[in-house]
Chains A and B, each alone.
Chain A
């Protein structure tokens, strides 16, 4: 069964460092998303991406964050200068985009720890 894959599974970084989280969405999917979850709490929307541009972003997704689809398979989330409060589990998701009824398929997540 096709799945969304994410790397790394866990990254530890120092405050102020840049971090890139990588995702390979399901191959025929057209819509891509990043979510984050702090310590098993609520799953918060960060950004959605379609047709090589951001289609929607939340207040959390400030200038420190960026997303990119550098080739036909990868979808990356970059945090330019990490803060302690960026420590969270980051989930990538994708969907076929066949209308509002489609579910999102999530990866296993990348745990980011900022020291």
Chain B
């Protein structure tokens, strides 16, 4: 069964420092992986996705994610954090139904960037 896990409930980082939000996955078949961000009282916004090809995926707002097949990980990264990056981040994997199927979300990681 497809699943993702986000091992950290919260990540704290100082503004200007690099940030990493961790995600590991378990899939049967090809992994189609996604990152979403949720600001307070808002919907989920798409950041980036891994489909195939280059293991380093670039997305919105300066975020990138590194796909690592051997470690079954898809960590979200940003070289220099901003206070405005503070939000709830969700990793997701496409469900087994393929193109008609749902995204399955991890439990979310709260990113707190302090000035």
Contacts and interface: CB of A to CB of B under 8 A. Distances in A.
Contacts of A42: 105-108
B14 interface: no
Given A56-B95, A101-B49, A102-B99, 11 more contacts: A40-B108, A42-B105, A42-B107, A43-B44, A45-B102, A93-B44, A99-B98, A99-B99, A100-B94, A103-B46, A103-B49
B115 interface: no
Interface of A: 4, 31, 33, 40-45, 48, 50, 55-56, 91, 93, 97-109
Contact of A33 (B51, B102, B106): B102
Nearest to A92: B43
A90 B3 CA distance: 21
A95 B43 CA distance: 15
Contacts of A41: 107-108
B84 to A, nearest CB: 18
A80 to B, nearest CB: 23
A99 B97 CA distance: 10
Interface of B: 30, 32, 34, 36, 42-46, 49, 51, 88, 90, 94-95, 97-108
A97 B100 contact: yes
Nearest to B98: A100
Contact of A55 (B30, B32, B46, B100): B100
B106 to A, nearest CB: 8
Contacts of A31: 99-100
5 contacts: A42-B108, A45-B103, A91-B44, A99-B98, A99-B99
Nearest to B35: A103
A110 to B, nearest CB: 10
Contacts of A102: 99
Contacts of A106: 36, 43-45
B99 A100 contact: yes
B96 to A, nearest CB: 10
A104 B104 CA distance: 11
A102 B95 CA distance: 12
B90 A43 contact: yes
Given A41-B107, A101-B32, A101-B49, A48 B42 contact: no
